[in-house]
Amino acid sequence: MSVPEEKVIQPTQIITKTPSSFWQYLISFGPGIVMVLSWLGAGDLVDMSVSGAHYGYNLMWGLVLALVLRYILVNVISKYALCNVHQETIFQGYKRLYKYLPLFLGVASLFLAHFYAAIFLKGLEKLSGNLAR
């Protein structure tokens, strides 16, 4: 799928320097680190605490792997949205890769949202049943 020539913005010059200090490395993390830290919610902290209480240090690798993968995913998506030359959203970029990928992601997220809501309601039913005793 080709993009019309008038829509493509060509950068004049891109200069990237390797960071030489700790502060420059910290800045080079970009917006991804801010998003990862803001998306780390109370549910994540509770899940990590409960799994740590049940399994000790045996699941520490899972925590590290999950946080690293979350950082990579969020960093790549945010840098794509900020720095692509086509001025397109992430879903338009997915559509350039495969025509039906945004549709698949939409259907999958709709299914998962209903699945998580059903699990939540089942837990709420158990909780209210235990409180009513």
The answer to whether the CB of 51 falls within 8 A of the CB of 94 is: no
Question: Do 89 and 73 share a structural domain?
Answer: yes
Question: Do 112 and 54 share a structural domain?
Answer: no
Question: Do 102 and 69 share a structural domain?
Answer: no
Question: Do 64 and 24 share a structural domain?
Answer: yes
Number of structural domains the chain divides into: 2
Question: Do 116 and 89 share a structural domain?
Answer: no
Domain that holds residue 91: 1-97
- Would you state the pLDDT for residue 64? 82
Tell me if the pTM is above 0.85: no
Question: Mind giving me the DSSP string for 53-100?
Answer: HHHGGGGHHHHHHHHHHHHHHHHHHHHHHHH-TT---HHHHHHHH-TT
Question: Do 22 and 60 share a structural domain?
Answer: yes
Give 45-79 pLDDT, tens digit per residue.
Answer: 787 788 888 888 888 888 788 888 888 888 888 77
Question: Do 83 and 21 share a structural domain?
Answer: yes
> Can you list the residues of the chain whose pLDDT is less than 50?
none
